[in-house]
Structure 1
């Protein structure tokens, strides 16, 4: 056991505290494995009546997977590194989604990516005024994984599609609206997404990512045009894959099925140059100027996108 995850049982509550506050509790493979092992142990432990997931520090529950470490591991071990990481991560997410005891997640501050995978499938998901939730994977050449497309594909209208493709953050009230949380504690600001439904639903309709971004760019509403410019900054191939993935997730029966799709997509996706380049630009060098291949959505071959899904059909 390491100090990166603190585990204790008090008054019938099994507490899991992610404990890397300087990294906003970014998840390593060891942290995921340790969390999963303890959850399995607690299944048959009568002293544990319920589980509570939280994070150390004040900045947030979890900023996601430690993608810098994953990038390094991929450079050294390739596909084996991807298989190991996603098998364990998605296994823990599936365990939480089907856990027979109540599991509460406190989604405070920054909760993103892999942190959403741990929290979004809990039986009780509580947000507060400082909550900022997101699945920002398209900014690093990936797609919203960890089973969260199950929730996003069932959000009202095209709100889930908007969040999946852009990686935009939402506050507490909007998180409840789109199904990423159950309730908010304290005095939280009103949801902002309902006022944008008219252009979001209009622009994000259909299965063509190029048509979507062009509708956004040409729209009369400034917020839509700004979103079109934002989408142009995201990894084009990742945006196209994310759109196809959320459309398919809408017809999958449960979180486990979405996680199965995630595994089939994530292993090859992180081995593409876009993932290494995205992590470099956002996390390593932090120059925020990734060089994507292809560089524009218009250059993405739909056949290349569909090839990723071939094993699932």
Structure 2
């Protein structure tokens, strides 16, 4: 399907991504509000082809990404379809989706025109991938930004391990292991966003992009964000999460004597033991990798490895399908996840190829 045909298709009101033009701004509106605009493969393709088309369109000066509905920009990938794909056997569709999604994440990070992401409401997982790599990232008092993958037997992806290893101190390790959602102030502190615009002024802000540069619009509409919470927790976060293993991190959190640290330990212990250990390893490895593209290649290998492991379908079942919130992880304990188990997740994905980014 060529870009022109896709662009026409995506202008219909029931398209999963609406393509709109307002002056010199091209708008990508994620349009699955009942699912909090959860990403599927069709949406990734529409976005990628629109970006390709608009890059070479001199009448488009700025790209703006928003979400339909009142709940958020994007709740992440469409994990129910991943669950069904894994259960059906093979999971080739999920691997293909991740391939194109991660390539899109890299494309956004290197896009030659201003890419403005309006991170209002819920922005999680895949939603972070299509926003936090952008050049102009706007949060509001309603923003809740998170990488909650360890709670579904998965590992932070979409360049999340790249972003989280570039936060101050060990804040990224804390967010990755616990899956904690942060508000605007903490998103700014962690480098996941750039500017705060009150939600009541978002419509004016996006409208201004029709004939003004993002820098000019930001100067008019951005204000100081409400204070976050993480800055006041840096002492125990940086100390506890610097440990070399998840077990030691949990021990330190329990021993530090802070109720919030103890709560973090209990939150971690409810997550998939395998996901926790692989996530910590992925973060430490990502710190040493030279680029976002190299990190995305690593994440693709790790993501594909989860397709043949029991925790991903089980985690999605517990959180989204049956909603009993009682996942039965396998292995069930951190001590049962060996170094070899972790190392296998970083091996080339058999039959999946690479992203071709590096």
Give the TM interval when normalised to the shorter protein: over 0.9
Task: Assess, with a 3 A threshold, how the Cα gap between structure 1 residues 310 and 207 changes in structure 2: closer, same or farther.
Answer: farther
Map Cα deviations across residues 17-52 of structure 1 (whole Å, 9 max, x no partner).
001111110111111111111111112111111100
Counterpart pick for 2:277 among 235, 240, 246: 240
User: Following TM superposition, by how much is the alpha carbon of 1:77 offset from its aligned partner in structure 2, in angstroms?
Assistant: 4.5
2:122 is aligned with 1:85: no
Counterpart pick for 1:204 among 235, 241, 256: 241
Task: Find the counterpart in structure 1 of residue 54 from structure 2.
Answer: 42
Task: Assess, with a 3 A threshold, how the Cα gap between structure 1 residues 77 and 7 changes in structure 2: closer, same or farther.
Answer: farther
Counterpart pick for 1:73 among 82, 85, 88: 85
Unmatched tracts of structure 1, length 5 or more: none
Task: Find the counterpart in structure 2 of residue 191 from structure 1.
Answer: 228
Give the root-mean-square deviation of aligned CA atoms.
1.3
**Greater Cα radius of gyration, structure 1 or 2:** 2
User: Following TM superposition, by how much is the alpha carbon of 1:307 offset from its aligned partner in structure 2, in angstroms?
Assistant: 2.0
Determine helix, strand or coil for the equivalent of 2:72. Answer: coil
2:122 is aligned with 1:122: no
Q: Retained in 1: the 8 A contact 2:186–2:228? A: yes
2:294 is aligned with 1:257: yes
2:297 is aligned with 1:285: no
Q: Retained in 1: the 8 A contact 2:82–2:91? A: no
Task: Find the counterpart in structure 2 of residue 269 from structure 1.
Answer: 306
Q: Retained in 2: the 8 A contact 1:207–1:244? A: no
Task: Find the counterpart in structure 2 of residue 218 from structure 1.
Answer: 255
User: Following TM superposition, by how much is the alpha carbon of 1:142 offset from its aligned partner in structure 2, in angstroms?
Assistant: 0.6
Task: Find the counterpart in structure 2 of residue 59 from structure 1.
Answer: 71
User: Following TM superposition, by how much is the alpha carbon of 1:78 offset from its aligned partner in structure 2, in angstroms?
Assistant: 1.6
Determine helix, strand or coil for the equivalent of 1:61. Answer: strand
Give aligned pairs, total: 312
User: Following TM superposition, by how much is the alpha carbon of 1:250 offset from its aligned partner in structure 2, in angstroms?
Assistant: 1.2
Counterpart pick for 1:102 among 111, 114, 119: 114
Determine helix, strand or coil for the equivalent of 1:253. Answer: coil
Determine helix, strand or coil for the equivalent of 2:278. Answer: helix
TM-score, normalisation: structure 2: 0.85
Unmatched tracts of structure 2, length 5 or more: 1-8, 199-223, 350-358
Distance 2:47 2:96 in 1: 15
User: Following TM superposition, by how much is the alpha carbon of 1:311 offset from its aligned partner in structure 2, in angstroms?
Assistant: 4.1
User: Following TM superposition, by how much is the alpha carbon of 1:256 offset from its aligned partner in structure 2, in angstroms?
Assistant: 1.2
Counterpart pick for 2:125 among 88, 92, 113: 113
